[in-house]
Amino acid sequence: MPNILARFWAKVLITGPDDCWEWQGWHTKDGYGGFRLGHRQTTAHRALYETTKGIIPAGYTIDHLCRNRGCVNPNHLEAVPHYENLRRGIRPPLKTSCRQGHLYDQTNTRVTVKGNRICRTCNSYSYRKSQGRLVDFTGEGSGTWFGMQQMAKTHCPQGHPYDEQNTLRPSNGRNARYCRACLNKSNLCRYYERRRRGTPSRI
């Protein structure tokens, strides 16, 4: 162990007690210092934690409080759950809720491997909508679902009214509607574009 520590500290630029202690050895592609601990290749900050503070608990990871991945100052390292480490690493500062108003708490939040947060409530709604199982639902603190808000509009984005003659509903039973005027205009534009190119077309 003394030989390992001596080899480790020989690769560290030690400055003030509150400053970052930069690793002078090689770095991984993610910017972490690399170090060989016995027969195992690991990162410098994990090797330091294991040799000075003990085994890292299962499901925990080492968080750089200074946000500097090349730092090995023991005062800047803390063992935290993987979820907490990802949550702290998200920049800019965390929002407390998604765009629909659902809280980003531990129950309602799924964190991807890239550190992005996904609202479980909205993700569940999107899945049900894709499967044709959309139902009326009011989320706590969010008002009505955005799908229901869309159905409550009286005009399309181009200003055409959603009346009986101008509204087209899908035949698969999904809770959606389309503006006939916009569809006809889109089809007409495609017709003239194909005609300009000399491609046979039907509308």
User: Lowest mean pLDDT: which of 23-37, 100-114, 148-162?
Assistant: 148-162
Supply the CATH number for residue 67's domain: 3.90.75
For the chain, what is the mean pLDDT? Answer: 77
CB 34 within 8 A of CB 27: yes
Looking at the fold, whether 81 and 94 belong to one and the same domain comes out as no
Same domain, 111 and 145: yes
pTM, two decimal places: 0.43
Of these ranges, 66-80, 95-109, 177-191, the one predicted with the greatest mean pLDDT is: 66-80
pLDDT(34) > 80? yes
What is the C-alpha to C-alpha distance for residues 8 and 94, in angstroms, rounded to an integer? Answer: 35
Residues 6+ apart with CB under 8 A from 85: 61, 62, 63
Which conformational region is residue 195 in: left (phi greater than 0), alpha (psi within -120 to 50 degrees), or beta? alpha
Q: Do 69 and 99 lie in a common domain?
A: no
For residue 182, pLDDT beyond 50: yes
Q: Considering the chain, what percentage of its residues have pLDDT values greater than 90?
A: 11
How confident is residue 6, by pLDDT bands cut at 50, 70 and 90? confident
Instruction: Report the alpha-carbon distance of residue 98 to residue 89 in Å, rounded.
Output: 18
Query: Distance between CA atoms of 26 and 29, rounded to whole angstroms?
Result: 10
Which of 173 and 35 is assigned the larger pLDDT? Answer: 35
Higher pLDDT among residues 23 and 87, named by residue: 23
- Contact predicate 56/50, CB 8 Å: yes
Q: State the Cα–Cα distance between residues 62 and 55, nearest whole angstrom.
A: 11
Q: Higher pLDDT residue, 192 or 105?
A: 105
Overall average pLDDT of the 18-38 stretch: 88
Q: pLDDT tier at 180 (50, 70, 90 boundaries)?
A: confident
Looking at the structure, tell me whether residues 46 and 66 fall in a common domain: yes
| Model confidence pLDDT, tens digit, residues 129-147 | 776 555 444 443 333 444 5
Which of 29, 57, 86 represents a domain boundary (last residue)?
Answer: 86
Number of independent structural domains in the chain: 3
147 and 172 assigned to the same domain:
no
CA-to-CA distance for 144 and 141, rounded, in angstroms? 9
59 vs 83: CA distance, rounded Å: 9
| Distance from the Cα of residue 54 to its chain's centroid | 32
pLDDT value of position 23: 92
Instruction: Show the DSSP H helices in the chain as ranges.
Output: 2-9, 44-52, 82-89, 120-130, 146-151, 180-197
- Token reading at 92: 């800019």
116 and 166 housed in the same domain:
no
Quickly count: other Cβ atoms within 10 Å of residue 70's Cβ. Answer: 20
* Banded pLDDT at 170 (limits 50, 70, 90): confident
Distance separating alpha carbons of residues 89 and 80, to the nearest angstrom:
12
Same domain assignment for residues 105 and 180: no
Domain that holds residue 172: 153-203
What are the DSSP E strand ranges found in the chain?
A: 12-13, 22-23, 34-37, 40-43, 60-64, 77-81, 109-111, 117-119, 138-139, 143-144, 167-168, 178-179
- Whole-number pLDDT of residue 149: 52
Residues in the chain: 203
